[in-house]
């Protein structure tokens, strides 16, 4: 049995109920908006965040309708952020298929993303739990702040890992920590447990983004060309590590041009090769291993052995996935 199947096994019935709720929500719009929502629903991915929320919720008791509504909220918010991200990044592909903006244009994509965002807020309200609504509101702010910080980070002249972690914590890890935190809240877990689950999601989210960033240094099947992040002015953890320990003026000059958006394809390829040769990938992998090990300690006392096993597989999958 593959890892995704092992992860989903303890919550198969719950995922079926969630899927029905998601499909119902995405089929409510008509006309052009309906076609856009249907296209998004058909490529909804692995549902990593709803799965995480439902697994954590089940550890502390019954999976309530508040949990289902919360899982739906996060998936809608996630998809809204992807539609908007593609506009900001001028991306034509999403999950191996044409992005909403590439098919319908930026104006329509903005409005479609706004519709998904509004649907997410409606779903949060329908949870009937003000604490969940407050957490979703915080998440929306974090996602927006992360996107803006990433956009303006291209203007920085330093190669700070601290800034990198701050951005990915807001832009990516916040969705995972919201999933684990709200999952615990929905099942009535203690304040200490909620805090611990918040850290669990944060660690998982950091691993998820670091792994995603590593993909950019290789030509593979993840749906974007090698060096695409650098083409967009982004310097991620592997490159930041080697840039902070080199005095090679040519390489530092290329990095500055990457940030400024003027690096050529050949220069980007040179920086990618230098990063790999100087241990940048190994460093990022080591960092993921450290974060994953800490994440595993946070679930060591889980009473439901099936949930514990599924989450171990989840943590490993995030760091080992190939796409």
Q: pLDDT by residue (tens digit) across 118-127? A: 999 999 999 9
Over the Cα atoms of the chain, what is R_g? 20
Q: Give the least confident one: 26-35, 55-64, 67-76, 152-161.
A: 152-161
* Topology of domain 3-320, CATH: Farnesyl Diphosphate Synthase (1.10.600)
Say what the pLDDT of residue 168 is: 97
Report the C-alpha dihedral over residues 206, 290, 48, 58, rounded to 10 degrees.
-120
Is residue 131 predicted with pLDDT exceeding 60? yes
Are residues 32 and 104 in contact, defined by beta-carbon separation less than 8 angstroms?
yes
Burial class (CB in 10 A: 0-12, 13-18, 19+), 155: exposed
Say what the pLDDT of residue 169 is: 98
Residue 156 binned pLDDT confidence (cut-offs 50, 70, 90): confident
Is residue 266 predicted with pLDDT exceeding 70? yes
Boundaries of every domain in the chain: 3-320
Say what the pLDDT of residue 34 is: 96
HEC string for 241-279? HHHCCCCCHHHHHHHHHHHHCCCCHHHHHHHHHHHHHCC
Say what the pLDDT of residue 95 is: 77
Q: Which residues pair with 319 in a beta bridge?
A: none
Counting Cα atoms < 13 Å in the Cβ hemisphere of 71 gives: 33
Is residue 221 predicted with pLDDT exceeding 60? no
HEC string for the chain? CCHHHHHHHHHHHHHHHHHHHHHHHHCCCCHHHHHHHHHHHHCCCCCHHHHHHHHHHHHCCCCCHHHHHHHHHHHHHHHHHHHHHHHHHCCCEECCEECHHHHHCHHHHHHHHHHHHHHHHHHHHHCCCHHHHHHHHHHHHHHHHHHHHHHHHCCCCCCCHHHHHHHHHHHHHHHHHHHHHHHHHHCCCCHHHHHHHHHHHHHHHHHHHHHHHHHCCCCCCCCCCCCHHHHCCCCCHHHHHHHCCCCCHHHHHHHHHHHHCCCCHHHHHHHHHHHHHCCHHHHHHHHHHHHHHHHHHCCCCCCCHHHHHHHHHHHHHHHHCCC
Higher per-residue pLDDT: 85 or 57: 57
**Given the structure tokens 């998440």, which residue do they identify?**
139
Determine the Cα–Cα distance for residues 98 and 40; give it in Å rounded to an integer. Answer: 11
Say what the pLDDT of residue 8 is: 97
Is residue 222 predicted with pLDDT exceeding 80? no
* pTM higher than 0.85: yes
Residues 277-295 pLDDT 10s = 999 999 999 999 999 999 9
Residue 219 binned pLDDT confidence (cut-offs 50, 70, 90): confident
Distance of CA 53 to the CA centre of its chain: 14
Q: Give the least confident one: 144-158, 226-240, 267-281.
A: 144-158
Determine the Cα–Cα distance for residues 320 and 289; give it in Å rounded to an integer. Answer: 10
Say what the pLDDT of residue 225 is: 62
| Residue 166, token pair as written in the block | 């701050």
Say what the pLDDT of residue 211 is: 97
Say what the pLDDT of residue 35 is: 96
Determine the Cα–Cα distance for residues 289 and 207; give it in Å rounded to an integer. Answer: 8
Say what the pLDDT of residue 237 is: 98
Sign of torsion, CA 214 220 226 229? Answer: negative
Q: Give the least confident one: 38-47, 128-137, 208-217, 279-288.
A: 38-47
If you average pLDDT over every residue of the chain, what do you get? Answer: 94
CA angle 237, 321, 259 (to 5 degrees): 25
Mean pLDDT, range 191-207, rounded to an integer:
98
Residues 8-45 pLDDT 10s = 999 999 999 999 999 999 999 999 999 999 999 998 88
Q: Give the least confident one: 84-98, 103-117, 185-199, 235-249.
A: 84-98
């Amino acid at each position: 049995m593959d890892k995704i199947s092992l992860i989903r096994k303890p919550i198969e019935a719950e995922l079926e109920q969630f899927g029905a709720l998601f499909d119902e929500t995405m089929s409510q719009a008509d006309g052009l908006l309906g076609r856009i929502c249907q296209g998004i629903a058909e490529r909804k991915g692995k549902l990593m965040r709803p799965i995480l929320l439902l697994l954590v919720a089940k550890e502390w008791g019954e999976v309530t309708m508040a949990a289902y509504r919360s899982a739906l909220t996060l998936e809608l918010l996630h998809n809204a952020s992807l539609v908007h991200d593609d506009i900001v990044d001028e991306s034509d592909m999403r999950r191996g298929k044409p992005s909403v903006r590439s098919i319908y244009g930026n104006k329509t994509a903005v409005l479609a993303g706004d519709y998904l965002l509004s649907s997410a807020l409606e779903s949060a309200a329908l949870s009937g739990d003000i604490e969940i609504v407050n957490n979703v509101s915080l998440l929306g702010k974090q996602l927006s702040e992360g996107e803006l910080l990433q956009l303006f980070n291209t203007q920085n002249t330093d190669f700070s890992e601290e800034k990198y972690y701050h951005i990915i914590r807001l832009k990516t890890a916040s969705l995972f920590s919201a999933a684990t935190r709200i999952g615990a809240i929905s099942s009535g877990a203690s304040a200490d447990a909620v805090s611990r689950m918040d850290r669990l999601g944060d660690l998982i989210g950091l691993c998820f983004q670091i792994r995603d960033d590593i993909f950019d240094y290789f030509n593979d099947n993840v749906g974007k060309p090698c060096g695409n992040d650098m083409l967009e002015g982004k310097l991620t953890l592997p490159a930041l590590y080697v840039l902070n320990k080199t005095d090679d003026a040519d390489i530092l000059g290329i990095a500055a041009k990457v940030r400024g958006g003027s690096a050529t394809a050949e220069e980007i390829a040179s920086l990618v090769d230098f990063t790999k040769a100087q241990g940048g990938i190994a460093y990022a992998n080591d960092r993921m291993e450290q974060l994953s090990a800490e994440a595993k300690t946070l679930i060591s006392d889980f009473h439901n052995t099936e949930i514990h096993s599924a989450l171990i597989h989840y943590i490993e999958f995030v760091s080992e996935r190939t796409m």
